[in-house]
Chain A
Amino acid sequence: MANWFFSGLFSRVVTTRYPASPEIAPGTTPGRPVGQQANSELAASAAAAMCPVGAIGAHGRDTTVTLSQCVHCQACRQQPGIAWQNDYQWAAAIPPSDSHRSQPVPRAFKKSLHIRIVDGGSCDSVLNEIKQLGKPFYNMHKLGFFITPSPRHADVLMLTGPVTRHMEAALKATYDAMPHPKWVIAVGSCAISGCVFGSDLMTALHSPPIVPIDVVVPGCPPPPLAILHGLMILAGREGELPPEPAIPVVPADPELRKVTSPEMSP
């Protein structure tokens, strides 16, 4: 006879302490590339040239990374001129100056936001990462974030995927069905920039966007902690976040590149 009561009781508590304190367990985040000063201009432009989606820019000896375009292909992980930072607090709010940005979340909503997810053609792994938020390790409910079964009860629309033509109408209808005030959080690089699926054919990028976006969480896919960070920012609860990046920047080591990767593009 299975005794679920005891097996539940004897499982230790696994839930992360983030945002009260940084999460330092290995494997919670893939990290992200960040620009740094390269040894030479040549090294900086080499770094820019190797990114398959053009997320890396070179300005003299400095490199920059546009995270909302990065697809986490790991090609630049050991590239001189790029540092790989093992943090996860990389969500960002769209500046209030942007005309599409909604008003900040009022005080009354801060500790209880109800979320409706719209899958605009995502790859499934980003949905899986969002799913982790409701599971024991991340448990967003304790922070006051809930998934709601109806758009009528939703405060936040969580958008994933590049928004295919077939999902446009459903996305609009969902947004329209939500009562005011409402906010939108775009999760994953493809929801922000279209990423490798952005094209005029099926996933046209709209300007202005179909729904106004307030907070973006780049990454392909962003780990659960980054999405949690995005929700905290959306709720205007930056004050509760741990101040430092959890794990310091790892400088790229040119010696790690023992064998050059195969030349693939003509």
Chain B
Amino acid sequence: MIDSNLSATPSALPALAAALGNSVVWQAPADPLHAPIAAADNFVTIVLSCEPENLPLVVRTLTEDADFRFAAIIPCEEGSSFIVAYWFYRSAGHLRVKLRVRVDAAAPTVPSISAIAHAADWHERQAEDLFGLIFSSHPKLGDFVLHEQWREGVNPMRRQFDHAPLATDADPPMPWSPETILETPGAFVMPIGPVYSDYAESAQFFLETVGEDVVRMIPRFFYKYRAVEKLAEGQSIAQVLLKVERFSGTSAVAHAICFSQAVEQITAVDPPPRAQAIRLLLAELERIRHHLSVLSDVCHSTGMIVPSAQVDILEEQMLRLSCRIGGHRYLYGLVIPGGLRRNIEDDQLQLLADEVQRLRSQAAELFSQLQFTSSFLDRFEGVGITPLEKTKNLGLVGPVARASNLAGDLRIAMPYGYYHHIPAFPEALETEGDGYARIRVLFHEIDSSAEIIRATALSIPPGEHALTALTLAGGEALGAVEAPNGAAFHGVNLAPSGTVRRLALITPSFTNWHGFHLAAENFAFQDFPIMMATFGLSMAESDR
């Protein structure tokens, strides 16, 4: 076990203060030049505020000069105004920036930043649809989350929104059709979904084509929009935890940890070391299972029966292992704010370590076989390429980004919980950015997660598995976790009574679907399922 020195570096703050000049007001720390920073802090959250007109300049300085990555836009209605919080993070110095912009709720207009930080594009469209915020000079607002059943100007995330008289009942829905660009004779649009011929999740894709090749793909998402963020408002932490775990069941552990982390930050507690260590094991177990599930879809998409069956067997074995360790095949109900719902005994952890090692060698064997199967490789090599520059621009995360050589695994870039205490592991980076690179990243991550479990499972610290009580407190925090699909952020705002005032779920599937069009451009029809499979994204996680 290595002891990494990962505490935040205070020296980064004066440099940042110099770069930003007086376009911002420093709120925390109030004086960046003499900010006291506790050595134990894993990261520092800087709170800045600025006037709406300075926003583009500040965002440009942060992302282009100071090398920050965009994380989220989280609007919150406070009385008669909106506080729009822009979150950024940087691995160097372990910094997070929360940039607050206040606008009047009666005329809520802020400048769009999506021309500077492209990753913000969908965040702005979403905020426009759900909150009624206007992002001036954004090229494309309207009809995003809410489909044609909703009248324009209805914003369900507004506090005064009353959902009893439904938007749909008043007038007949406006017919909707995709905006097409092809004007060649014979060009047509082929719709796919939202109901599929197999087990796929609800979403719609329109493929613009002139026959054999597809020129462009127009997606329509949010068929599965359950308004989780709205439902959470005013509910207790325990109630919200149920939703956070279940809105995307295949990444339940990651999201439960992310939410718990935010609550623990607000209530200023640390779960006991044993709980942190077991959380890490559960998260890695989930990652292995998730990746196997994606690889199973990948093999099925090529119609190769034997490799598919072999991956399927591994996946079901992982599901059974999860159930034996955690009592639930998708590990629901184990992670709670303050620790774990119940302890996992050492003999169970031994079982986990043994089984994972067995599966690991089988997965490695499978990988080496696939690498020599030309009919398999032919379908993936050079298919669905996401070039590094654009991947970076759109701020893609997770295995998809790593396949294009974009680093940013939060377990390494911003270690949280027990990730400080495990041996360093390499980030699984590939360079080609094609389907085959994504498959290799998945196999490498299965292997590194198995290695993490091997190195950790048998030296879990003894002690309690949960704090006996959580002192309730109000406040706001951002949880950040590397979910199986990439970086997930949960913005949590608690009232002093401990109920949730606002929940914002920024999920890796949401981030990465935004970049799916990079891969899905000028391709052959039969490659579409293959590209979908290698992206491995969840609609439930994206739609919320």
Chain A interfacial positions (CB closer than 8 Å to B)? 1-2, 4-5, 7-8, 11, 14, 25-31, 52-53, 71-75, 77-78, 116-132, 134-137, 147-151, 161-162, 164-167, 170, 174, 190, 195-197, 199-203, 220-221, 223, 258-266
B295-324, CB < 8 A from A: 296, 304-307, 309-310, 312-313, 315-316, 319-324
Report whether B246 and A71 are in contact in the complex, using a CB–CB cutoff of 8 Å: yes
Q: Least Cβ distance of B194 to chain A in Å? A: 5
Report whether B223 and A164 are in contact in the complex, using a CB–CB cutoff of 8 Å: yes
Report whether B224 and A167 are in contact in the complex, using a CB–CB cutoff of 8 Å: yes
Report whether B328 and A30 are in contact in the complex, using a CB–CB cutoff of 8 Å: yes
Known: A4-B307, A27-B323, A165-B149. A196 touches B246 (CB 8 A): yes
Q: How far, in angstroms, from A265 to B197 measured CA to CA in the complex?
A: 43
Nearest 3 pairs of A and B residues by beta carbon: A125-B249, A27-B320, A149-B197
Report whether A124 and B238 are in contact in the complex, using a CB–CB cutoff of 8 Å: no
Contact with A along B131-173 (1 / 0, CB 8 A): 0000000000000000101000000100000011010100000
Q: How far, in angstroms, from A202 to B304 measured CA to CA in the complex?
A: 39
B225: A residues at CB distance < 8 A: 121, 164, 166, 202
In the complex, which residue of chain B has the Cβ closest to the Cβ of A199?
Answer: B231
Known: A27-B319, A150-B197. A263 touches B469 (CB 8 A): yes
Query: What are 7 A-to-B residue pairs whose CB atoms are below 8 Å?
Result: A121-B224, A121-B225, A123-B247, A170-B194, A174-B195, A265-B238, A266-B499
B239: A residues at CB distance < 8 A: 52, 196, 265
B469: A residues at CB distance < 8 A: 262-263
Report whether B201 and A223 are in contact in the complex, using a CB–CB cutoff of 8 Å: no
Q: How far, in angstroms, from A161 to B544 measured CA to CA in the complex?
A: 12
Out of A4, A123, A167, A199, which one reaches B246, CB within 8 Å? A123
Known: A7-B310, A52-B242, A75-B341. A167 touches B194 (CB 8 A): yes
B223-278, CB < 8 A from A: 223-228, 230-231, 236-239, 241-243, 246-250, 252
Report whether B250 and A167 are in contact in the complex, using a CB–CB cutoff of 8 Å: no
B198 at the interface (CB under 8 A from A): yes
Q: How far, in angstroms, from A147 to B122 measured CA to CA in the complex?
A: 35
Q: Other than the known A2-B369, A74-B333, what 5 A-B pairs have Cβ atoms closer than 8 Å?
A: A11-B309, A135-B296, A199-B231, A221-B249, A261-B466
Out of B230, B304, B328, which one reaches A74, CB within 8 Å? B328
Report whether A164 and B226 are in contact in the complex, using a CB–CB cutoff of 8 Å: yes
Report whether A124 and B541 are in contact in the complex, using a CB–CB cutoff of 8 Å: yes
A134: B residues at CB distance < 8 A: 199
Q: How far, in angstroms, from A200 to B164 measured CA to CA in the complex?
A: 7
Contact with A along B42-81 (1 / 0, CB 8 A): 0000000000000000000000000000000000000000
